[in-house]
Amino acid sequence: MIFTVLQVALGGAIGASARFLTGVGVTRAFGQTSFPLGVLTVNILGSFIMGIFVVMAANKGLTHWGPFVMTGILGGFTTFSSFSLETVTLIERGAFGLAGLYVLLSVGLSVGGLTLGMLATRGVFA
């Protein structure tokens, strides 16, 4: 168990660093914009890499690398890749209603949770 936790921690450090560097690269390439292009880039790229890894790991017997790559690197890079994988898994199982509900609840409640957290904290520091 401790080895798996260390794999996740190391992968997370790599992924978070890659997210930061990708954001810097996008800003250098396109300049400062009001649209969160860096975040969009890591979300799309992370989801793409998750798709590659899931199929490759299953076909090549590399699922033991899941904690390091999926939870660690890609989780540190973007949790959106995990969200995308869970959504596609529900769709592939034919659970279209659950997939739609998952997307709506994940996005809506996450944005709502962030908003409530901001409002509560602003109330403390106002």
Q: What is the pLDDT of residue 125?
A: 80
Question: Is residue 98 very low, low, confident or very high in pLDDT (cuts 50, 70, 90)?
Answer: very high
Is 100 contained in some domain? Answer: no
78 is in an annotated binding site: yes
| DSSP reduced 3-state for 35 | coil
Q: What is the pLDDT of residue 36?
A: 87
Is 97 contained in some domain? Answer: no
Q: What is the pTM of this model?
A: 0.80
Provide the residue range defining the domain that includes 27. Answer: 2-77
Statement: residue 126 has pLDDT above 80: no
Is 64 contained in some domain? Answer: yes
Q: What is the pLDDT of residue 5?
A: 97
Residue with tokens 């979300």: 43
Is 50 contained in some domain? Answer: yes
Taken in order 114, 41, 68, 60, the sign of the CA dihedral is positive
Question: Tens digits of per-residue pLDDT, 111-123?
Answer: 998 899 889 898 8
Question: Tens digits of per-residue pLDDT, 14-33?
Answer: 999 999 999 999 999 999 98
Is 33 contained in some domain? Answer: yes
Is 19 contained in some domain? Answer: yes
Is 22 contained in some domain? Answer: yes
Is 66 contained in some domain? Answer: yes
Q: For residue 48, give the nearest of 17, 77, 11 by alpha carbon.
A: 77
Q: Which long-range contacts (CB under 8 A, 24 or more apart) does 44-53 make?
A: 45/77, 45/78, 46/74, 46/77, 46/78, 46/80, 46/81, 47/78, 47/80, 47/81, 47/84, 47/85, 49/74, 49/77, 49/81, 50/74, 50/81, 50/82, 50/84, 50/85, 51/84, 51/85, 51/88
Q: What is the pLDDT of residue 14?
A: 98
Statement: residue 35 has pLDDT above 90: no
Number of domains in the chain: 1
Question: Tens digits of per-residue pLDDT, 51-83?
Answer: 999 999 999 999 999 999 999 999 999 978 889
Q: What is the pLDDT of residue 59?
A: 92
